[in-house]
Amino acid sequence: MDINLFFKSVIDSDSAPVVICDLEHIVRYMNPAAVKRYHTDITGKSIKLCHPADANEKIERVVNWFKKSKDNNVVYTFRNEEENKDVYMVALRDEKGELIGYYEKHEYRNIETSELYAM
């Protein structure tokens, strides 16, 4: 079985938005949660079309930082108090550690209310 199907399944099943970009800032993939959250699918378009100039400058600064070292991989970018979540930019690297893109990661801080192993 194609290992890429497993990775796609992991991303697609995540309830948090995942937007994956290449180094030219072109959106290569949005999971269903991202399409729902942003009310559009911009796959194939520049992520910069969705952000103001100051945010685009920050994106560039983070990507340049990712390029400086294979150890530079995660940057905390935003806190959303209303949704109780933190947002990060995360480097994507190939098997040699070379930067190939980045994605936005949302981490919700709400305490789980479900019972353990509730099915």
What is the tens place of the pLDDT at every residue in 47-86? Answer: 999 999 999 999 999 999 999 999 999 999 999 999 999 9
Side chain identity at residue 12, one-letter code: D
CATH of 3-108, one of 2.40.33.20, 3.30.450.20, 3.10.20.600, 3.40.50.920: 3.30.450.20
Q: Retrieve residue 15's tokens.
A: 């309830």
What was the pLDDT predicted at 36? 96
Q: pTM for this one?
A: 0.89
What is the tens place of the pLDDT at every residue in 6-47? Answer: 999 999 999 999 999 999 999 999 999 999 999 999 999 999
What was the pLDDT predicted at 119? 83
How many helical (H) and strand (E) elements, i.e. helices and strands, does the chain have? Answer: 3, 5
Please tell me the distance from the alpha carbon of residue 59 to that of residue 117, in angstroms, as a whole number: 39
Q: What are the domain boundaries of the chain? A: 3-108
